[in-house]
Amino acid sequence: MSGKPKLYYFNGRGKMESIRWLLAAAGVEFEEEFLETREQYEKLLQGGSLLFQQVPMVEIDGMRMVQTRAILSYIAAKYNLYGKDLKERALIDMYVGGTDDLMSFIMMFPFLLAEDKEKQRAFIVQKATGRYFPAYEKILKDHGQDFLVGNSFSWADVHLLEAILMVEEKKSDVLSGFPQLQAFKARISSIPTVKKFLEPGSQRKPVPDDKYVETVRRVLRMYYDLKAN
């Protein structure tokens, strides 16, 4: 294994994108191996690299880690983005969990039938503006600090910014009623490591397209269509 973390996934967002975000926010350079064929995937399976027969998989510090949440927790702790004590870590876990719930509605979007996408788009915006964004707006307003937890940059901030940008791709003015989140977005986006990741040419992946969807379907042998909520 090389000195840099190595990420094994498709050349697209999916569950790996949050890992890319967190590594980038921590200022950590990483390498990627993109899965493009079923043979590549089966080689990882046969080699015993995928403990639960799933990707993402990350090689880091002599380990082959799977399970997205475990990978993210390790990175956050390793690079001091996981709070200063147990209470702060619990808050970060809670906020990240909420953001994960919102992201899950968005992650399935590219795989939906065309006729279901508008329904899901409306559902995503409704959940964001009716449930998740009001909660984060209140957190920021109540404590009056720049970051979600302990007035220090953490995994929770990185995750929320990622989610905000994902929802804005579905409705560009979705933050119009959330002044605290507008200011939060501007602050976090201006952090040097985050700003660099947001610039063209970074390892941040674009909105999933048909090619990405077809590659995932072919490699994982997904021969079904998802239905919207």
pLDDT digits (tens, 9 = 90+) for 152-201: 999 999 999 999 999 999 999 999 999 999 999 999 999 999 999 999 99
Assess if residue 33 is contained within a domain: yes
What's residue 221's pLDDT? Answer: 87
CA dihedral in degrees (201, 204, 207, 213; nearest 10)? 110
What's residue 3's pLDDT? Answer: 86
Assess if residue 133 is contained within a domain: yes
Q: Residue 155 sits in a domain of what CATH number?
A: 1.20.1050.10
Q: What is the mean pLDDT of residues 108-120?
A: 92
Q: Residue 73 sits in a domain of what CATH number?
A: 3.40.30.10
What's residue 177's pLDDT? Answer: 95
Q: 46 and 95, same structural domain?
A: no
Q: How confident is the model at residue 36 (pLDDT cuts 50, 70, 90)?
A: very high
Assess if residue 70 is contained within a domain: yes
Q: 29 and 62, same structural domain?
A: yes
Q: How confident is the model at residue 136 (pLDDT cuts 50, 70, 90)?
A: very high
* Domain boundaries, position 95: 86-190
156 within 8 A of 149, measured Cβ to Cβ: yes
Among 89, 108, 229, 106, residue whose Cα is nearest residue 164: 106
Q: 180 and 126, same structural domain?
A: yes
Out of 47-56, 86-95, 169-178, pick the least confident. 47-56
Residue 205 has pLDDT above 70, yes or no: yes
What's residue 228's pLDDT? Answer: 53
Assess if residue 25 is contained within a domain: yes
Q: 137 and 110, same structural domain?
A: yes
What's residue 222's pLDDT? Answer: 78
Q: 114 and 25, same structural domain?
A: no
Q: 75 and 96, same structural domain?
A: no
Q: What is the mean pLDDT of the chain?
A: 94
CA–CA dist 8, 137 (Å, integer)? 35
Q: 123 and 63, same structural domain?
A: no
Assess if residue 141 is contained within a domain: yes
What's residue 1's pLDDT? Answer: 47
Q: 46 and 15, same structural domain?
A: yes
Q: 67 and 22, same structural domain?
A: yes
Q: 137 and 68, same structural domain?
A: no
Q: What is the mean pLDDT of residues 73-81?
A: 98
Structural domain total, the chain: 2
Residue 104 has pLDDT above 60, yes or no: yes
